[in-house]
Amino acid sequence: MDAGAASLARASRIAWGVGLLLLIVAPFAGVYPIFMMNALCFAIFACAFNLLLGFTGLLSFGHAAYFAASAYATGYLVRSAGWSPELGVLAGTAVAAATGLVVGLIAIRRQGIYFAMITLAMAQMVYFVFLQAPFTGGEDGLQGVPRGMLFGLLPLANDLVMYFVVLAVFVAVFLFVIRIVHSPYGQVLKAIRENEPRAVSLGYNVDRYKLLAFVLSTALAGLAGSLKTLVLGFATLSDAHWSLSGEVVLMTLLGGMGTFAGPVLGAFTIIGLQNFLADRVGSWVTVIIGAIFVVCVVAFRRGFVGEVLAWRQRRKGSDAPR
């Protein structure tokens, strides 16, 4: 590793350490814990989506379906069946993964806009199932989901305890995604993203690799939905709406597709804007976020983190001896 690469790695570790420290001290610094937990849940959701889009090159327009499937499953099992929160989260994540497997088997053999449209169509079917099914509460959703006791020991009704549980899950998911991307499997995913015909010519079963990536992404998206249900105490149809699928695309692109920290930053930006602007501009918040997206696409297509990394790369190139 040359000096430039070592310096970049060191700067990245420092930045991640500072970010983690800020997350740890946030609830003690007067930041509303519910907001932070909600943002962390969507950060997990965005990391899951980025694994599929940023590192595999598959654009799904229906990821809200898996987020909502897990949210409803966890909410129903914890509230109505009396399951403990950890079992409810595991079951919800499994439901999301199973749903992703079914959709993936149908969609994964298609590419580009055809893949995106199949995922959107399947997500709309899931939405109408949640609208009509008797156990989902219809338009009212599932209300009054208790947080319960984690492993029978930790009272999740305490916001501070719940916050650090969500933070621990977020850190675990973040490290898990990094491990996947840096593994031999992750290198194959990158090869598929860059040149799928070449990956096929090298003997890789690309459909199998893409299907596993799709299921992993949907499982992590489901984990985010389950945690969000426990944090807020409800699951609603908005969790399954196509607009939420669009929001996670925006989070990923705004922060930086194909980067690790980008989706996290994008999630915090979008959730922060929604919370800050909702009481001030009402429904205009959607217009403002749309305008931000347009500016992002026009001015910095790599996203916040992507532009910073590109700038550092250019600087490194300009400082190299000639």
pLDDT tens-place string over residues 88-132: 999 999 999 999 999 999 998 888 888 999 999 999 999 998 988
Asked whether 269 and 255 are in contact (CB, 8 A), the reply is yes
235 strand-pairing partners? 142
Q: CA 219 to CA 39: how far, in whole Å?
A: 18
Backbone angles phi, psi at 185, to 5 degrees: -60, -45
How far is it, in rounded angstroms, from Cα 322 to Cα 320?
Answer: 6
Pairing of strands 154-155, 149-150: antiparallel
Residue 299, pLDDT score = 76
pLDDT at 73 over 60: yes
17 domain residue, yes or no: no
Q: Which residues contact 142 (CB under 8 A, 6 or more apart)?
A: 72, 75, 76, 79, 136, 229, 234, 235, 236
Residue 209 lies in a domain: yes
Using CA atoms, how far apart are residues 264 and 47, in angstroms rounded to an integer? 7
83 three-state secondary structure:
coil
Place of tokens 């105490």: 233
Q: Which pLDDT does position 275 carry in this prediction? A: 83
3-class SS at 261? coil
Is 304 inside any structural domain?
A: no
Residues 6+ apart with CB under 8 A from 276: none
User: CA 59 from chain center: how many Å?
Assistant: 13
Q: Determine, yes or no, domain membership for 67.
A: yes
Contact assessment for residue 68 and residue 126, using Cβ atoms and an 8 Å cutoff: yes
Classify 63 as helix, strand or coil. Answer: coil
Q: Could you tell me if 262 and 256 are in contact, meaning their C-beta atoms sit under 8 angstroms apart?
A: yes
Is 156 a member of any domain?
yes
Mean pLDDT of the chain: 87
Which of 165-169, 284-288, 307-311: highest mean pLDDT?
165-169
Residue 18 has pLDDT above 90, yes or no: no
Identity at 255, one-letter amino acid code:
G
Q: How many residues does the chain have?
A: 322
Contact 172, 164 (CB under 8 A): no
Q: How many structural domains does the chain have? A: 1
Cα 198 from Cα 245, distance rounded (Å): 30
For residue 81, what pLDDT is reported? 87
Which residue type does 296 have? C
Residue type, 142: L
* Residue whose C-alpha is closest to residue 163's, from 27, 12, 22: 27
Inform me whether the pLDDT recorded for 301 exceeds 80. no
Instruction: Assess if residue 127 is contained within a domain.
Output: yes
Q: How far apart are CA 199 and CA 87, in angstroms?
A: 39
CA 220/CA 32 separation, integer angstroms? 25
Which tens digits make up the pLDDT trace of 126-135?
999 898 888 8
Query: 101 is in which domain, residue-wise?
Result: 26-241
Examine residue 125 and state whether it is found in any structural domain, yes or no: yes
In-domain check, residue 276? no
DSSP, res 154: E
**For residue 278, what is the DSSP state?**
H
What would the pLDDT profile of 190-249 be if each residue is shown by its tens digit?
999 988 889 899 888 999 999 999 999 999 999 999 999 999 998 988 888 888 888 899
What residues have CB less than 8 Å from 41, skipping those under 6 apart? 166, 224, 225, 227, 228, 231
